Amino acid sequence: MKDETPAKVCNPVPLDNILTSAVVLNWDALAPGSTTGIIKVEYHIGTDGSVESLKLWASAREYWSLVCDYSTNLGWSDGPRFSNGYHSHRLGRLLQSIMMNQNLFRHDCSSNTNGTLEIGNPTAEEIASATLQLSEAFPPPVPRAAPTPRTAVAIEATTEQAPAV
């Protein structure tokens, strides 16, 4: 009798949570030295139910400044476009990973609607939670094991040709 282990059920992470985690972990690039700033994330859900565009805004006092925008439409964008002096390679790659792997995340928005998040200065607890959430959503790749001497010899033995008879 074969003992079967049940397959792990993958519960998609809420899109709002993963976007919040991306902002929290890149707070220093978005609001350097600010303890009162706010970052606004706006996204548009297209007719197919996926995120078509994304914008990040930073507030300094009463002004909102565009940080970056991202569109999944081919020809419109090749990843996040930063503006107004903002740039973060780490945030750009993270947003690109989120947008390219939307199947890992869920949202409760209807087609052709918009979502908005406002994120304030993160606490140490929020940073720890965001770190954990992103590491679970995007686990690091498993390193490939280098061949051991025994397997290397076995590989060589199988590739040697037998002498012709």
Please state the domain extents for the chain. Answer: 13-137
Pair 29, 37: CB distance under 8 Å: no
Question: Rounded mean pLDDT of the chain?
Answer: 83
Average pLDDT for 115-120: 95
Average pLDDT for 45-74: 90
The pLDDT, as a whole number, for residue 75 is 66
Residue 156 predicted with pLDDT over 90: no
By CB atoms closer than 10 A (0-12, 13-18, 19+), residue 55 is: middle
Residue 112 predicted with pLDDT over 80: yes
Of 33-42, 80-89, 122-131, 139-148, where does mean pLDDT reach its minimum? 139-148
- DSSP code for 160: S
pTM, 2 dp: 0.77
The pLDDT, as a whole number, for residue 31 is 86
The pLDDT, as a whole number, for residue 6 is 43
